[in-house]
Structure 1
């Protein structure tokens, strides 16, 4: 057994703004690029640049067939986002002719301090240029202000290929890097939930004052919340629920059956006896196998804590979960940096021996 390969992103963000556990299989680093993908097959590749007028560049793409690519640029000077003048962004690869974007192709998110560019970046050849280039010069102009910075492209080719592989586009016409002649794949059966408004009202109420997820910030949803229609008139909503700590983040799962929403309980063992909880930490969901797993870390390195696995069972009023395994390990006094984290070797509180 190893820790789940399809973890929701937030569960692995512990202790860093973008440092996901490499064992999850949904995260890689290629040179200065950090690539992360969610269970819904949405992926992003980004890098942060210090002491540069351009402090960040990010590429985002959902897992939908023929999904467009979005480019997000972070200027170091916030005044560029606040001015009222005409906004222009130019991207030049290795001194070549720049790709230029005007107001209508640029969306400003002042809260996140980013500019989002839209366009056919695959068809225009910009993605190929990023893949094959060495340096991207990005220039942002507005009124009398200009920000210009160089972004290194080493590792971009590997990052684009990783996204194609994770999104299962290799050999398909809608790949960014590894194009082929096969038609696009059908959309994945799970959908991203990025805003509270994306939930039905009966689920959205759980995030209101007094609800069990009231302390959840909307920004936590992106890449970490999803909807999965598991049967006719039955939908699962997997979501962050509440505020976490340094390396443990709580999740809840809501089930909508014929318009009625209930919280899915997770069976556990407490003091040697069966019990159940309505939220778990660092949750992973394998929608193909219809299994969940959770890993509550006793400390940041993850060499101790509680690991659980559950599988679906049919219930009279909708899906239920059955506890498959629960393992627990106390934190050793000393950290062994060479030790592999493998809950298969931990003492089991379930099944009982």
Structure 2
């Protein structure tokens, strides 16, 4: 199953490849947000979170999500930016209030738009097969939870065994001649040699005959770019790593990337702006033959939402 997203007036809704779904509503004038998340399958129940950027001591105050005059107290999960969650036993009640509500706010001052909330939640119901069931977010009925479609299977990805990193990493920062000769590498180095980022070379051993190299290509105010290459011993036979996104597009570059020998993963966190409340976070796992996308979260709207509350667009097991 492919991930999908839709816009419904002020709200957006996203479902990933495993049919976990998320709906987001923004605060008026860019202040505050609310998120509804629900896994697929008959046993799943929604989660509701909301938050805002604090102003001084405001971050330490407890607050409620208020819908049409009814207060739903929230449990503080993070202080800056402020993020809080509705207790699980009241979450479905809150979701249905959002779907049918006229006004909403978090705390005393942060008004949340409900324009499009009902349509976004109904789209999730339809996507997950919840319409007219007791678990529906928007259009509830008498059909039992057992009538909800089962969660689709997730792709299975097995990481290759970890190997010794002796001679790689921070102790080996000289780019092999075969890589230096690659035209794309030469172009990157021409842009970064006189810049601090030019020293941000990364290397790792993938197995006895395969190495991984990351060549710095650019640096901005809050993003650093690398191109990744898989090579033979001593950097021979270099070829660009194939790093695929959830949309199917493939490239060799990451933004704010790194490699973990313990987990066999390349991670990246491309920030949409400096505070890191929007962008794309990705993880690729080395299987012994290739890097496979194993996790992706994507938030295109810069609404002040911490990365822990971004929607997933790709998952594996």
Structure with greater helix percent: 2
Q: TM-score, normalised by structure 1?
A: 0.44
Structure having greater relative contact order (Cα 8 Å, sep ≥ 6): 2
Q: TM-score, normalised by structure 2?
A: 0.49
Structure with greater strand percent: 1
